[in-house]
Amino acid sequence: MKTFRQVMSWVIPIVIGLLIALLIKQFLFQVVRVDGPSMQPNLQNNERVFCLKRSQIHHGSVVIFDANGVDPQVAVKTDYVKRVIGLPGDTVRSKDGNIYVNSKKINQDYISMKQRDAGTGNWTLKSISVQNSWLKHNGATKVPQGEYFVLGDHRSVSNDGRYWGFVPKDKIDGVVKVPSWAGTKTTRQNVNKEWQHFYAK
């Protein structure tokens, strides 16, 4: 009996700790690893960031979502990291390296002029939905209710909403925050606070 009590004295705290960790991961935040170059120069391959489960999604927020059921090429749970450009009800178009949301030019200081010109292209939601044969919402002129339009920062290599469409809200795991010890002051600002300066002045 004494041995049993001794064993339980360290087993119970471990179980409680695991349960707390599981609840935190499920409902509050988790640490995730960035995979690939699609968010360069602001997030690097293999960089570790926080995914905040309950943060509000704004224009310009960087989010993590499950691409299974969103990107037709993905058949198992796969996390994508992208920047939210269009909220439900928005119109989005791109011309000469500039992006317009609801006919207002957005701020893209988080990427260089060369990255905008070389990677973004000229399009409307309707034109890219037809050109890239979206399986859902083909011909859409606005972001549907309950869904979001996302782009990678490294536009010339990013596999994003231009090619497969919109991200349903229930697929989004949370909002990315770069911790104070990672990246640079500029890249942290470009991920953590860019949503505060979404539209160009």
Element (H or E) spanning 189, and its range? helix 185-192
Write the DSSP symbol of residue 62: E
Active site residue 55: no
Q: Which one from 82, 158, 171, 177 is the annotated catalytic residue? A: 82
Structural contact between residues 182 and 48, judged by C-beta atoms closer than 8 angstroms: yes
Give Cα separations from 74 to 71, 102, 162, 170 (angstroms). Answer: 6, 30, 16, 17
**Rounded distance between C-alpha atoms, residue 86 and residue 52, angstroms:** 20
Q: Which one from 2, 9, 25, 38 is the annotated catalytic residue? A: 38
Active site residue 129: no
Give Cα separations from 79 to 7, 114, 136, 137, 149 (angstroms). Answer: 39, 28, 20, 22, 16
Active site residues: 38, 82
